[in-house]
Amino acid sequence: MAQGDTFIEEALQEYKDGMNYLSGQLPKLTKKYNAFVEACFSEGEIKAKNKYLIALAISVCMNEEYSIINHTKNCIDEDCSEEEIMEAVGVAVSFGGDVALGQAVTVVRDAIETFDTGS
């Protein structure tokens, strides 16, 4: 496993652990939040995979590493190709400039390498 893989997997686990902690501290809030998020990403006029691509692009623009990792994994889980992911990230870079570009060439790339099993 490459060092980038370890960072990506550890960061995703850290995010999940944090969400579990929050669920224990604020169960009512997190239950409602999770239901809201599930509704936002459910299939509608916009396909779920496209919603995850949008979320990834927003995460890249916002320079939010945990969200970038999580949404890159979600994109891969929704069968987005690497080309689709990078095209969405390209749109993010057009808005986010150098900061977004830095995330695209590091965190997104490492997350793709970590989570894309080639299936």
pLDDT tens-place string over residues 39-56: 999 999 999 999 999 999
Alpha helices in the chain (DSSP H): 3-25, 27-41, 48-62, 65-77, 82-103, 109-115
Residue predicted with more confidence, 119 or 74: 74
Determine phi and psi for 43, rounding to 5 degrees. Answer: -60, 135
pLDDT at 2: 53
* Fold annotation for 3-115: AhpD-like (1.20.1290)
What percent of the chain is modeled with pLDDT above 90? 89
- What's the whole-model pTM score? 0.88
For residue 56, which of 13, 99, 103 has the smallest C-alpha distance?
103
